[in-house]
Chain A
Amino acid sequence: MGRFIARRLVFLVTTLLAVSILSFLMPYLGKRDPARIILQARTGDAAVDPATVASLRHELGLDQPLYIQYLHWLHEVVVGNLGYSFTSRQAVGILLANAIGVSIVLAIVALTFAIVVASPLGVLAALRPNGFVDNAITSITQSFVPMPEFWLGPFGILVFAVTLGWLPAAGWLGPEYVVLPAAVLALRPLAYLTNVTRASMIEVLASPYITAARARGLSTWKTILRHGVRNATPPVMTLFSLWFASLVGGSVVVEVIFAVPGNGRLLYQAVVDSDIPVIQGAILCIVSLVVGINTLTDIGYVIVNPAVAAEATGGKSR
């Protein structure tokens, strides 16, 4: 188990190093000159003085070779300084800390809603596979998967904010602002969680210990709750944490529609403004967060079930 955890940590470090290179380089893939873009944004003028561009380029260190810029940036990142936004001139670290907090709240609310709805539905569907209830639940939840957020979002605003006036349309000023974006975000994980709960339950309910429990005279519901649900939980938790990692990373579309100041919107705005330090910092932080959560999940899974570690390190890697 120790070997497994060590392997995971080495993998974590190498991945993060690769990610840091990628997130540093990504904004430079384009052919546009960042110094020129910043000046145009600041002055609102298409024709900018070449001398000013050159001096700004020097001021921002953009005239040095890329690898030196990278090492310099990496050093600053390790020290905890992600630089300053080109446009708002705020510290990237502070911008990101605020945005990540918002995205985490949104992710937690959305996934709580998803799991609370999905687990009973999945269990119900598993009781009689391919029965009427199962078919109804499965086909309804599966239809959530190809539902585009950029349609559901505006439509939700139209119905619940504009027509009914129950909820605010957009913004992030209080608890009631979480409801609509979280609901839109919850549908897809809800579909997948229902599906996995169902599949896991079907397998568990076919196991001998369920028959044994029934034979001991346990009532149907007691069997399902005490033995069934408990044993069906691990795959559901794995999927849950994968979704958590993915939602914490930020959901651009939903955050843009509902004007939620989370990761996704921060990155979107930075991308629109060509705000290089924010793009680099946001990608690095988001991906580190995702990789970190996934590593923790893997390690937690091994602590719960050591057999997995033997399988993972004993066999061919992946």
Chain B
Amino acid sequence: MVSRAEPIALWAGQGSAHLLARGSAGLHRIHWSAIVGAAFFICVCLLLILTPWIAPYDPNAQMLRDNLSWPTARHWLGTDIFGRDILSRLMYGGRFSVTIAAITLVASSTFGIVVGALAARLGGVFDEISMRVVDVVLAFPDLLLALVLVAVLGAGPITVVFALSVVGWTPFARLTRSLALEINTKGYIEAARALGCSEMFITFRHVIPNAWSRILGLALTRFGYQLIAVGSLSYLGLGVQPPASDWGSMLAEAQPYMQQLPLLVLIPGVTIFATALSVTMVGQGLSRRRVPASAAKPLILRPADNVAGG
């Protein structure tokens, strides 16, 4: 019996070892920067979600006796000119910054993906017109366009989301279109067509899901851009309106007092930077796993595809 049991045990052991090896190989293949970035961003998100319960103070409570204080046991990150607790303001402000950036990203990417996929599937007039529109939008320096739109429509978080989405959908449309053109040549698309599936069905059932991983990579690199764009508009006084504030407007409010207390400018800036960097790291880490460095082709990035135009 023992001799019969052994092979089974061995096989089972091998099996689990094999599974373990596969699991850890999968993790190994993900670049460390993706894991670090994801961990950091998840921590930030958790802190922001839990803010109403864990923030030490009301973000707008003025403790004038403690104003412009360095970090102390009572105020971990110090206080601003009105004696408001920086840590609490940072946490409440982050809820605005991250949420606005995330909603903008979802709105602009959804629109861009649908337009790009349909342009590639339908071709013809729709393709031509939508790509010309993309070209025209790309001709505008993106932050300038967003600035004018927000200013004309009235400052506030909703117009910021709208303006940045109007500006930000074009890279998604371009990428999705080029991926979809490639997918269109695949056999399963022809098969779906032969079965009589509608263009809409093919687009949403086959084309978009197959382009998904590359689009996700773009979305991850775009998140940092959106966060900074939202911050820039807020910094210019066009985003979240006082008394509420986000990271950009905190920085603008702090600037006149930076000589007395440099931390006031440093803290929101480092927070935006670290948050944007963490998500970018996830995107870069994931792309490093997919494409070995030796096979990576030189990628010509258009400034407007990826970068804040200033």
Is A188 in contact with chain B by the CB < 8 A criterion? Answer: yes
CB distance from A312 to the nearest CB of B (A): 14
Say what secondary structure dominates the interface of chain B: helix
Interface string of B290-310 (1 = CB under 8 A from A): 000110111111111011111
Contact of A235 among B136, B284, B298 (CB under 8 A): B298
Most buried by A among B149, B268, B269: B269
A239 vs B307: C-alpha distance in the bound complex, in angstroms? 12
* Residues of B with C-beta under 8 A to A252: 143-144, 147, 232, 236, 310
Q: Closest residue to A200 on the B side, CB-wise?
A: B298
Q: Closest residue to A199 on the B side, CB-wise?
A: B298
- Of A40-48, A138-146, A212-220, which stretch is located at the interface? A138-146
The contact size tier of chain A is 35 or more
A20 vs B214: C-alpha distance in the bound complex, in angstroms? 35
15 contacts between A and B (CB under 8 A): A146-B225, A148-B273, A151-B269, A158-B258, A185-B310, A189-B303, A192-B306, A196-B301, A246-B141, A246-B304, A249-B310, A252-B143, A253-B235, A268-B147, A271-B151
The interface of chain A, by Cβ under 8 A from chain B, is: 11, 14-15, 18-19, 22, 26-27, 29-30, 129-130, 142-143, 145-152, 154-155, 158, 162, 185, 188-189, 192, 195-196, 199-200, 202-203, 235, 238-239, 242-243, 245-247, 249-254, 256, 264, 267-268, 271-272, 279, 283, 286-287, 290-291, 294, 317-318
Q: Closest residue to B254 on the A side, CB-wise?
A: A154
Say what secondary structure dominates the interface of chain A: helix
Is B224 in contact with chain A by the CB < 8 A criterion? Answer: yes
CB distance from B166 to the nearest CB of A (A): 11
* Residues of A with C-beta under 8 A to B310: 149, 185, 246-247, 249-254, 264
A40 vs B82: C-alpha distance in the bound complex, in angstroms? 31
* Residues of A with C-beta under 8 A to B63: none
* B: number of interface residues (CB 8 Å): 59
* Residues of B with C-beta under 8 A to A185: 310
